Structures are given as C-alpha cells and as structure tokens.
A and B are shown apart, each in its own frame.
Chain A
Amino acid sequence: MNRSDLKKFIKRAALAQMPDVFDRIDLQNAYVAGVPEQPTRRVRPFNYAFALKAMLVLILATVTGVFVYDQLQPEPPVVLALETEAEIYGFQMVSATSLLSQITATDLALTVKFGDHDTTTAPIQESETLITDQIEKITDYLNTMEVMLAEDDETVYEVTPSDVDGYQWKLTFTTVDLLGNVLTYTIYYNEVLDPEDASRRLIDGVMTMSGDEYSLSGTVTTEGDTVRTRFIAARGDDSIEITDLTDADGQKYQYDVTKDGQPYESLHMQLSREDGALVATIDHATATSSAEYRFRRLADGSGFEITYRYEKNGETETGRMGVTVEYDEVSEGYNYQYDVEAQTGSHQGHSSHSGGRTSKTNGSSDHGMNTSFTL
C-alpha cells in the first residue's frame, strides 16, 4: 500500500467513527468566559405579512447585490507557489546550492565511476528517443527537485534567530526524500540595510552541503509593492546566480551557472501549485537545442513524473518520464530508474535509463553537522 492510500484509509476510517458532540453542548446555558449576563428580551408575536414582504425585498437586494459584486470584482490574484519570506529565501538558496553541488559532482562521477561499477545514467534499453542525450542533465535537476518538491505537507521552511556567532538568522528547510529520509538543510545569514540604498537589504550567509561549504550573498530590493531578490551561491570558481523574474504569470527565476570561472549554462524555472503540490518547470536552451521539463512529485511519494518537450537540430520530441528510485546491488546505492515514453511527429519511442542519484542523506546540512535521519 502506498503512502497516499494509507493516509486516505486512515482518514476515512477515523472520520467514520468520529462522534458529533455539537448538539450535546448547550451554548446558551454554557458558561462563556467574559460574557455579561444578557437581559431577558420581550417576545413579540410573529407577523407573517411583514416577514413575507421583508423576504421579497431581501431576495431582490441579494440578486442585485450579487450581480453588482460580480461586475466589480478584479481579476483573481496570482496564486503564489512560495508565499513567506522564509519560503522565498529558502527555496532559492537551497535549490541554488543543491544544483551547484550536483553540477560539480556530475563531472566527478563521470571521471571516477566509469568502469565496472558505473553508476552514472546509462541507458539499459533504448529505442530512438531524442531525449536520451539529456538524461544526465535531467538527473542534475532531478537530484535537486527531489528535495525541493517533496510532498507539500512534508516541507517546512523556518527562520529563527541564529545559534552561531557571526550570523543573525538561521533558516532551516526540512524535507523528505523519495526514500522517506527526513533531511534538514540549514543556512546561517545576516540581513542588513544597504547603507547606500534604503530600498535594498543585503544578505550574506553560509550553507554546508555534502561536507562542502558554500557562501551565499544576495540583495532584496523593494520597489513599491514589488520585492525583488537576487542570490548567489558560490564555492571556489563555481557559482549560481538566481535572479527573480516573477511577474503576473507566476514565480519565475533565472539560474546562471558559472563553472571554473566561465559561464556554463543558464536556465529558467517557473514554480506553480497544483492540488497543493509544488511543481517546477525548467527551460533550458543551447545554440542547437532547447528543452522544457516539468517536474512533479507523485502524490504517493513513490517517484516523479517529468513531462518534456525537447527540440534538437529542428526535430521536436515530446514525452513523459516516470521516475522511481531503485536499489542497485552493484553500487550498493539507490538509483533513479527512468521509463520514457516519447512522441516525435507520428513516431513513438520508448527507453529506460538507470543511475545518477546522489545520496540525499549526505547532502543535508547543519553547518557541518549531518542531521538527516535514515529510516
């Protein structure tokens, strides 16, 4: 039984036997703190003719009121995927650091692990899917999305006063990976007013991930009702800069990656909420290709669904990937298992791939201390 079914059955079974005590509580005779005694009211005889007239007037006023109200209503506001300051800061800082960590780690995996125990993404079955050459890149994104897009009720962002000297604030992001491990990422940071610009706040901080320390810096600029953020996560010559491009269509961010001091790639991410779950759509383009990936974690927490559109050398493929996490006895670790269904024009393709998942329990942080739990 998956998590979703289990929760559904618990709720249904519990509510089926829940008593209703509302009618057992006599509010009028109950003692309510701070309520003065009510004077006894004189009861007047009921006037049917007056009641009927009043009801007709009320109905007419209601119908007119509803019509006028509808006409005056503004466009519905955009539903923000991230609402609080902790969520907005936390998502950008943790996703940037995680993505940078993945991009740096991928090269190591390619260099070191090719051989008998190759755990990079390798096709185990293939039949003409264009997307195959993007699986490693998708895996970089997925390693980050796995922690950022956990079930909505299992991710918590919290800002509290820092318990480390030199920093004012501690931002904690708690999430659950696909294996059910609870992961905690901690960022320590300072936030001060820019002495040269009163509309801007400056942020500097630090985050440890997979044993590596990343510096974080950023600005938060207020322009009227609009707040713009810009963060940079860096380690040595590698960095990711996130620019807030949020507009009326939703929350959007641009990630510019610099590797070994040189521009490496640029991507856009748009966040939305569907049925309470956070969904991320990533756009990425090169001189010869462009791609759009939409990541959504399955409601039962068993994996991911990625829908995509990939264009390369004038050919366009769309498709869907089902992604699960499987134990690999050779590497004694967990890998992503991709099952790809692709469509190119009237041609359908199918491929499977395995590998590429990095351990999330080593990735979580607490300023150098690993506070994740393996269940």
Chain B
Amino acid sequence: MFDFDGRLDALRRKDEEAFREIYDQTKHGVYAVIVAIVRDRGIAEDLMQDTYMKMLARLDAYEPGRNFNAWLVQIAKNLALDHYRKEHKTVSVDPQENAYVFDRVEPVESSEYDLETLIAPLDTEEREIVLLHVVSDTKFKDIATIVDKPLGTVLWLYNRAIKKMRTHVGKERP
C-alpha cells in the first residue's frame, strides 16, 4: 500500500518527487469525484488544480494515520459542490436536467462507447459512486465515507447504476 504519510513529510519540504508520487496516486479519485458533479471539462481541470492547491494549504489539518486519499477526495468534492451551487444555486439529481456536457471524445475503438453514453442514465450520486469505484479503484468502504452513506446502500446504488447502464447501452446498441 502506498505510504502517503511518509511522502507528506517530504511534501512539507516541497519535494517535487514526493508531490509527483502523491499526485499520481490520487489524481483518478480527485478527477472522478469532480466530473461526477460539474461535468465540464474546463472547469474540472481548474477544480483539480484548486484541489491540490487547497490540499497544500491545508496540509496541517490532515491527521497522520487517517485515509489521506479519502481526505483529498473530500476536498475535491467540496470544491466541486461549491462551484455547482454557485452556478446552479441547488444541486439537481435529475439525470435529464444534468445532461452531460463533457466534450465528446471519440471512442478508442469503433466498438467502444464514450463516457457520455455510458453514464447518461445515472444521477449525480450514482455517477459519483461509479466513477470513484471504477476510475480510481476506490474501495466501497472509503466511498461510503466520502458520500456519507451506509456501506450496504453504496453497494446497492452501485449495482443499481451498473444495471441502469447495461440496460441503457443495450437500448443504444442492440
């Protein structure tokens, strides 16, 4: 398992290598939680940068021995939610209203799907759980902490989301 606490000592000394390692270990989770909420590529990029800047500025608030990755993802989530509230006043969970506005990326292979198609039927909460788990390999136990829901509920939401997506993809490409 990656030793975050060991690297954080080096990061406090502004060690670039330690920062690179921490960044590589955490970028998927940070990105996943941000795009689940804001869904705009340019803003997601800015919020990723803001997340790491805020992490550096608040490093003394992190308690060694705790889950650093979950702590950082929570910073990213709070920044994304703050942004969303400013833009929309309230966070909607209506999947139609939340139509994905990411740039369409051409599939790697013609037989593959783009992200927009795959997660289109999901609401914000389902998107957050799916992207955290699938994109950043975050454990369900940690996701339960991040989304502040019981573990069983998280697993249920995840499996419901998987079923929704499979049904949706089946309709898209029979």
Contact = CB atoms under 8 A, between A and B. Distances in A.
Given A158-B141, A158-B151, A182-B156, A17 B115 contact: yes
Contact of B57 (A22, A33, A184, A373): A33
Interface stretch (A4-12, A263-271, A279-287, A344-352): A4-12
B35 to A, nearest CB: 7
A83 to B, nearest CB: 11
B49 A32 contact: no
A35 B60 CA distance: 9
Interface stretch (A23-31, A97-105, A131-139, A223-231): A23-31
Contacts of B149: none
Nearest to A364: B152
Interface string A118-160: 0000000000000000000000000000000000011010100
Contacts of A371: 152
B47 to A, nearest CB: 9
A52 to B, nearest CB: 24
Nearest to B51: A21
A279 to B, nearest CB: 20
B94 interface: no
B77 interface: no
B139 interface: yes
A154 B19 contact: no
A49 interface: no
A7 B130 CA distance: 9
Contact of A35 (B14, B137, B141): B14
A339 B113 CA distance: 32
Contacts of A14: 31-32, 35, 115, 131, 134-135
B163 A19 contact: no
A375 to B, nearest CB: 6
B52 A21 contact: yes
Contacts, number: 137
Interface string B117-136: 01100000000001101110
Contacts of B31: 14, 18-19
A1 B160 CA distance: 15
A16 interface: yes
A180 interface: yes
23 contacts: A6-B162, A10-B131, A13-B118, A14-B31, A14-B35, A14-B131, A14-B134, A15-B135, A16-B108, A19-B41, A21-B48, A21-B49, A25-B19, A27-B19, A31-B56, A32-B59, A33-B58, A33-B61, A34-B12, A158-B151, A174-B152, A184-B152, A371-B152
Given A28-B14, A154-B140, 20 more contacts: A6-B165, A10-B118, A10-B134, A12-B112, A13-B105, A13-B113, A14-B31, A17-B105, A19-B41, A21-B45, A22-B20, A22-B27, A31-B56, A33-B60, A154-B155, A176-B159, A181-B159, A182-B155, A373-B156, A375-B160
Interface of A: 1, 3, 6-7, 9-22, 24-25, 27-28, 30-35, 38, 153-154, 156, 158, 172, 174, 176, 180-182, 184, 371, 373, 375
